[in-house]
Amino acid sequence: MSANDAKVGLQARRLAWEVLEAVGAGAYADVALERAVRQHQLSPADRSLTTELAYGCIRWRQWLDVWLDRLGKVPARKQPPRLRWLLHLGLYQLLRMQRIPPAAAVDTTVELAKRHGFSRLSPVVNGVLRSALRAKEAGETLPWPEQPAERLAFCHSLPVWLAESLLHWSDPDQAERVAIACNQVPPLDLRVNRLRSTPDDVAAALSEAGVSTQPIDGCPDGLQVLASGGDLRRWPGFEQGHWSVQDRSAQWISPLLAPQPGDRILDACAAPGGKATHLAELIGDVGEIWAVDRSAGRLKRVAANASRLGCGCIKAMAADAADLIEQHPDWRGSFQRILLDVPCSGLGTLSRHPDARWRVTAATVEELLPLQARLLVAMLPLLAPGGRLVYSTCTIHPAENGGQVKRFLQGHTDFLLLSEQQRWPDPDGGDGFYSAVITAPVKA
């Protein structure tokens, strides 16, 4: 990418366009973004703009399509994909970003069209964006459907099937709150490592470096970052393992196991290791924690996180959790605590993974259910008599949550459900998640 691109403000926009193209072709947004920015030495401001543009356009894809359908002669879904994403880039800046001057949004988008294969269509790009600007200045709004699910989907840029489901799972007000939360940039939450520091000390050190924080309600070890800048890996305490990044919803999971020093604990689907290291911190690093995951590559992150945080009691092992008892028959009944954070649809994390809403379907959920059920049953022979198991997900789909646990308990009447909780994505912060605390009979 040329120096002239950077000078006229095109670099961040060009990279965001690349990310939109990649995601439109099936790539994961976080992977595509990291690949795009890794190839260029971006300033913090340009990296932030690239991220905001890419993730914002992905979040608001359907909403932007509705505007395109209104403003253009060709429906959005019939546009060449690269042109569609470029128009999204311009429309997002015009209609949803306050800090970008309208002239800059129009001019840079038209310039990208001229430089990257759409020179002949640059007048069309210019016309669509200027029509959008006139509509915005006139205070015009889109005509939304009267049907509740379609209206929720179009207003908040969700798939219609998901909007219908939200209205079925909850009341209209709750569905609206979830939809709003799905389109907000999630707050940055930290978990303080009490093996090496305290929340007060971490907050003070960060404050001296210009990073302001506040405590998180319900998370005794949590701090929400309010204002910051630069690479967080250079913030005070990161290299020393005083804290790690973990959403507040994830911080609520590990304490549900009520782990005790000396416990033998299994984290059955452990990567990237946030909950395993939290468990180690909760037991004072006294005990034995097996962090199991099918991906040997992802387990490297578990080992790296454990090393940085000083969690020496964690042992990482690449294996299929569903087959553990066959591979390790000596593990039968040996774990006082088991955390089963199953693979799920991730519908509780759409603010963090905006592309998931366009990738996950009702069929995707159905495909996951047998795996979740198999993993849950596979934990039983590993759990010690009277032991505690926490089944958790980061989804809000009832079939993956209460539905799974209900079927399990119907087939295993000697196990007891101590508690279950569904947390919805919250506009004030926190992903959606589900947890169920189950205890084994005292006598096997």
Strands 243-245 and 188-192, how do they pair? antiparallel
- Residue 249 φ/ψ, nearest 5 degrees: -65, -40
Supply 351's token pair.
């603010």
DSSP single-letter state for residue 393? E
Nearest one of 417, 392, 88 to 252, comparing CA atoms = 392
- Cβ contact 162:357 at 8 Å: yes
Strands annotated E in 319-415 = 335-341, 383-393
Query: What SS3 class is residue 366?
Result: helix
Q: Is 57 a catalytic residue?
A: no
CA 356 to chain centre: 9
Q: What angle do CA 348, 349, 353 make, to 5 degrees?
A: 145
For helices 81-96 and 61-71, the axis angle rounded to 10 degrees is 100
CA-CA-CA-CA torsion for 280, 283, 284, 287, nearest 10 degrees? -80
Closest C-alpha among 276, 281, 278 to residue 302: 276
Q: Please tell me the distance from the alpha carbon of residue 340 to that of residue 431, in angstroms, as a whole number.
A: 18
Decide if 265 contacts 279 (C-beta within 8 A): yes
Instruction: Please pick, among 182, 311, 313, 394, the residue that the annotation labels catalytic.
Output: 394
Residues with a known catalytic role? 394
